């Protein structure tokens, strides 16, 4: 018995961290491993392209993201398959690894106690749990964010072995750049703020020590620079900006902060960030508001304020995170970005460390422990609250579409037309033996894909004047209730003329882009040009098909509908 007790005492920290990590892993599994959301489907479709050229091409022309996570996922799928459970397991593992790494960061920057607080908060934080469950690059960014902080801390503590940690920091930061399109901003801000800390706090004006860092970083990122420049160009130099779906409002700042610390959001978000995996919570029950919003937010802000009044490295790590968020916010205001909580996830490890570091400063220590326990309780209670939906990202409709279309048993000359997300559909439905037409307007407009755009618009449909609003640029097209000649000719040549008598055509459209009330929607959705263009394209296609074909039936399922036409003459 004594040996057992001695063993527990000797390895108590390891046992405790293992337990906290296990709890974090189980909480990430608790959300569930069901079918994928549309963003996740896009990730899988990209990752299953030919390595590396196919993946890089898809990222440059469609997803507009950096390649590292897609490369990792490519080989993960090769090894284990692509069931939803297997796909989600990769980010869950990456997210869970953040927990012991968070402990190591907290321990090295202050104490074991700070490390335990950091690990505990990271294990139960709902924002981190959500994105450790989402099959996209967010969990990898969480892990790399903590790893970058760890090497920065070790660099500061080990002046004699400085080069070793400079190299490791450079490698980690290169991986960040390979993972996130604007990762270079974080890397630049980090080294700038750290140099400021060395000069101002440590009174060390010798910056020659950074030469190995910059040399290593530049060598490592040289291969990806042309690719990243192309991706960034494609997000901006287009018919309209990639982030046209998003319109910034000051309340979004509040929502992002709430997303970080509260397992449920207050009534604050109505636009782009509702696609966040964080829970949108609408309730008039003030008890829920207090438990799931106010209490965890106040605890986190207490830690941040305590850290802010310190004059040490952790305060400057917090500065790095906040400056990165500020840079994203400025980009959003300039119309170059979208200020969503998930886009800030790279800087979140620094914020989590600052919260924990500040709480560890509270005396007496039992008060800090009590605050951490309350924070844990709020997050775990939310995960078990039966009245709330834990995970609000809708399951992709692509799976249901493909199953329904399988039941029609299409013949060789028959056709499926999908104006939006046809790129996804091809992954789950074999289109090789039929006539398949997809405009993929969710991608083609982003990157100014003339092959697609020229099949939609006539010469005078798009006014090429940068000073005009997006609506004004397309006003000629939207106000014309006759199908464009380009659409009519394209469908005639590539679909209708290929049909034999009795052949069918299936138009698959999303109900949010329903064209039935187009004349009423033109004024209503003036600020959402993407939605209007999708509606108008659906309207044009339907009119062209009805002119030569007979409409047989419309099947409405979930958030999409399938309209069947037949050549009867």
Q: What is the DSSP string of 143-200?
A: HHHHHHHHHHHHHHH-STTHHHHHHHHHHHHHHHHHH-TTHHHHHHHHHHHHHHHHHH
The whole-angstrom separation of Cα 557 and Cα 550 is 21
Classify 328 as helix, strand or coil. helix
pLDDT at 6: 64
Alpha helices (H) in 334-466, listed in sequence order: 348-360, 365-383, 398-406, 422-428, 441-444, 450-453
Of residues 537 and 514, which shows the higher confidence score?
Answer: 537
Of residues 247 and 387, which shows the higher confidence score?
Answer: 247
* Chain mean position to CA 25: 21
405-436 CB burial, b ≥16 within 10 A, e <16: beeeebeebbbbbbbbbbbbbbbbbebeebbb
User: What is the crossing angle of helices 485-494 and 529-548, to 10°?
Assistant: 50
Per-residue pLDDT, averaged over 427-437, amounts to 91
pLDDT at 11: 77
pLDDT at 277: 37
Per-residue pLDDT, averaged over 516-526, amounts to 62
CA nearest to 293, candidates 276, 277, 278, 272:
278
CB 339 within 8 A of CB 248: yes
On the CB side of 346, CA atoms within 13 Å amount to 26
Bond from prior residue into 364 cis (ω within 30 degrees of 0): yes
pLDDT at 283: 46
pLDDT at 182: 93
CA distances from 230 to 55, 66, 227, 446 (A): 14, 11, 5, 13
Per-residue pLDDT, averaged over 439-463, amounts to 79
- pLDDT interval class at 254 (50, 70, 90): confident
Q: In this structure, what token pair is assigned to residue 491?
A: 């469908």
Which pLDDT tens digit goes with each residue over 464-473?
776 777 777 8
């Amino acid at each position: 018995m004594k040996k057992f007790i001695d063993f527990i005492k000797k390895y108590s920290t390891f046992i405790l961290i293992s337990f906290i990590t296990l709890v974090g892993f189980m909480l990430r599994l608790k959300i569930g491993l069901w079918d994928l959301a549309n963003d996740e489907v896009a990730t899988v479709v990209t990752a299953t392209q030919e390595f590396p050229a196919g993946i890089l091409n898809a990222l440059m022309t469609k997803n507009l993201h950096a390649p590292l996570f897609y490369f990792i996922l490519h080989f993960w799928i090769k090894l284990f398959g692509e069931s939803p459970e297997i796909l989600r397991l990769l980010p869950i593992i990456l997210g869970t690894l953040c927990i012991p790494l968070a402990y190591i960061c907290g321990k090295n920057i202050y104490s074991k106690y700070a490390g335990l607080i950091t690990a505990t908060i990271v294990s139960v934080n709902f924002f981190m749990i959500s994105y450790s469950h989402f099959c996209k690059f967010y969990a990898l960014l969480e892990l790399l964010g903590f790893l970058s902080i760890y090497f920065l801390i070790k660099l500061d503590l080990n002046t004699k072995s400085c080069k070793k940690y400079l190299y490791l920091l450079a490698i980690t930061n290169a991986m960040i750049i390979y993972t996130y399109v604007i990762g270079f901003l974080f890397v630049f801000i980090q080294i700038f703020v750290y140099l400021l800390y060395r000069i101002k706090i440590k009174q060390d004006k010798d910056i020659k020590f950074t030469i190995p860092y910059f040399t290593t970083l530049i060598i490592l990122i040289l291969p990806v620079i042309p690719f990243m420049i192309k991706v960034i160009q494609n997000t901006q130099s287009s018919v309209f900006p990639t982030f046209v779906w998003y319109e910034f409002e000051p309340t979004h700042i509040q929502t992002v902060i709430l997303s970080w610390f509260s397992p449920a959001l207050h009534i604050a978000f109505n636009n782009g960030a509702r696609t966040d995996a964080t829970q949108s919570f609408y309730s008039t029950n003030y008890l829920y508001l207090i438990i799931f919003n106010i209490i965890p937010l106040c605890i986190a802000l207490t830690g941040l304020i305590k850290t802010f009044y310190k004059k040490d490295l952790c305060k400057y790590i917090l500065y790095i995170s906040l400056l990165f968020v500020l840079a994203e916010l400025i980009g959003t205001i300039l119309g170059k970005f979208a200020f969503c909580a998930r886009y800030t996830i790279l800087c979140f490890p620094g914020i989590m460390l600052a919260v924990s570091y500040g709480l560890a400063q509270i005396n007496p220590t039992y008060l800090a422990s009590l605050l951490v326990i309350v924070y844990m309780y709020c997050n775990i209670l939310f995960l078990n609250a039966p009245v709330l939906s834990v995970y609000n990202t809708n399951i992709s409709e692509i799976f249901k579409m493909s199953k329904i279309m399988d039941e029609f048993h299409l013949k060789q000359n028959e056709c499926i037309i999908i104006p939006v997300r046809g790129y996804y559909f091809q992954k789950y439905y074999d289109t090789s033996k039929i006539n398949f037409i997809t405009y993929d307007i969710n991608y083609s407009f982003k990157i100014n894909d003339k092959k697609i755009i020229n099949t939609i618009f006539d010469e005078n449909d798009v006014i090429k004047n940068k000073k005009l609003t997006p609506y004004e640029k397309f006003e000629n097209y939207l106000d014309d209730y006759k199908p464009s000649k380009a659409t009519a000719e394209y469908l005639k040549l590539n679909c209708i003329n290929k049909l034999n008598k009795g052949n069918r055509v299936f138009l698959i459209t999303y109900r949010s882009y329903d064209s039935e009330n187009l004349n009423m929607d033109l004024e209503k959705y003036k600020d959402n040009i993407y939605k209007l263009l999708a509606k108008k394209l659906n309207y044009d296609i339907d009119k062209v098909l009805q002119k030569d074909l007979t409409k047989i039936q419309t099947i409405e399922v979930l958030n999409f509908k399938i309209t069947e036409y037949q050549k009867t003459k």
